[in-house]
Structure 1
Amino acid sequence: MRNLRHYCTTLLLFILLSCGEKTDKKSEETSTEEVKTETKSKKSEEDVILFFGNSLTAGMGLEPSEAFPALIQNRLDSLGYDYEVVNAGLSGETTASGKNRIDWVLNQEVDVFVLELGANDGLRGIPIEETRRNLQDIIDIVKKKNPETKIVLAGMQIPPNMGQDYTSEFRNIFPELAQKNNVALIPFLLEGVAGDPELNQQDGIHPTAQGYKIVRENVWNVLEGMLKEKR
């Protein structure tokens, strides 16, 4: 508990400090377009898993190949699943800014949508109902775009800086929304990683490559059953 409190306090300080942050040519072009079309066609044969979140999803401080979405892609490939993982994480993202860019992200067809947002809201003391409403709106938009898209909601926790009531209400947003919308839930994305200096970078916030391997398992524990059912 003390480790988690230390992690969360460090996270709050970091967020507050960083938030301010012609014939022959035509023939050649036609040939290029054909290659692009063929590549796009091959990609479209794979189902898409899209991770939509903040710096935790983006893998801030690490190579993209070390972030947990890339690790999920490796797991899928090794098990013979035909899925393409898309990392749509953006550092500093809140539920409001996520809601503003969701339509653009959904320009592609998505089969599984993993929603990892809300932590920045809680750390900034944004009213609980506003965060809840934004998350609900994002879920509604995804469902409206394609009712067949499977949705996974990643739970998050924050420090008690805003008071115990706020902290508890924030934590409850995620299981309540998951139950209300009948979507899968990752209880706490950073379970087993938060607060452990050996598993976090020097900022004490973002997981190391080793920490992300644990995050991958937290995600996979929920995602695996969903993919098996779909298969």
Structure 2
Amino acid sequence: MKKVLLFGDSIFNAYDGSRDTTRLTDALKKRLGDDYEIVNVSTSGATTADVLPRVDSLPACDVLVVEFGTNDASNDWGISLYDYQENLESLLKKAQKVTGASDTIVLSPSMPDFNNPEISKFYSLEGLDQYAEAAQRDAGKTNSFFFDLTHKMERLQDLPSFLTEDGQHYSEKGISWLADVLTNEITNLD
């Protein structure tokens, strides 16, 4: 049985607008079946700076899936692009060592609904592009697989239907789509 460790923010915690849920973890368990154990140690609202001190306590796993950057890229409470890239690289190197993961998948930041003024005021497409490029560079530096969540979401038809009313977190349709994406990425490692 392969152990998959999800390490991210509220996107991986499947925050539904009022609370964290197990929707993503449950969807992955259903799709991947009994050959995989899914463990989710994500922290809603976290940036790479917030979780760096926690990396030493991560459990062992076979596959590490890292999803940080959405909060980092926010111009309201995020961190600089330079700090994000430095933090993510440190986080990946340390997490790979601590967990002993044979494979690591790094996701770029999630794409908000730019038609929603309540969330779009905190992000720019140019900024998200830069954070996505930084995540891709760090994935390369750490021999990790990279999935460009930012630009994959940008190309979705009717993006708002994949998100909750807040324009950032995932609806049932979005969780199903993300679970399909992650299942594909994880099973392609075999």
TM over 0.5: yes
Aligned pairs, number = 176
1:112 is matched with: 63
Structure 1 residues 87, 171: CA separation in 2 closer, same or farther (over 3 Å shift)? Answer: same
Letter in 2 for 1:144: K
Query: C-alpha separation between the residues in 1 aligned to 2:103 and 2:124?
Result: 34
Query: C-alpha separation between the residues in 2 aligned to 1:164 and 1:72?
Result: 29
SS at match of 1:85: strand
Pairing partner for 1:201 from 164, 173, 177: 164
Normalising by structure 1, what TM-score?
0.67
Query: C-alpha separation between the residues in 1 aligned to 2:146 and 2:167?
Result: 25
Pairing partner for 1:171 from 117, 132, 150: 132
1:76 aligns with 2:35: no
The answer to whether the Cα contact below 8 Å between 1:128 and 1:170 also exists between their aligned partners in 2 is yes
1:57 is matched with: 12
By how many angstroms is 1:95 displaced?
A: 0.2
2:115 is matched with: none
Structure 1 residues 194, 201: CA separation in 2 closer, same or farther (over 3 Å shift)? Answer: farther
Query: C-alpha separation between the residues in 2 aligned to 1:165 and 1:203?
Result: 21
By how many angstroms is 1:160 displaced?
A: 9.0
1:86 aligns with 2:42: no
For the aligned residues, what is the CA RMSD? 2.6
Letter in 1 for 2:32: L
By how many angstroms is 1:128 displaced?
A: 1.2
The answer to whether the Cα contact below 8 Å between 1:155 and 1:174 also exists between their aligned partners in 2 is yes
1:144 is matched with: 97
Query: C-alpha separation between the residues in 2 aligned to 1:91 and 1:194?
Result: 27
- Encode CA deviations 1:206-228: one digit per residue, 9 max, x unaligned: 111121111112222211111xx
1:102 aligns with 2:55: yes
Query: C-alpha separation between the residues in 2 aligned to 1:195 and 1:84?
Result: 32
SS at match of 1:109: coil
- Encode CA deviations 1:116-164: one digit per residue, 9 max, x unaligned: 0111111035221110111111111122225453111011256696777
Letter in 2 for 1:73: K
1:180 is matched with: 141
Letter in 1 for 2:143: N
By how many angstroms is 1:195 displaced?
A: 6.5
The answer to whether the Cα contact below 8 Å between 1:69 and 1:86 also exists between their aligned partners in 2 is yes
Letter in 2 for 1:115: V
By how many angstroms is 1:70 displaced?
A: 2.0
SS at match of 2:71: helix
From the two aligned structures, give the one with the greater helix fraction: 1
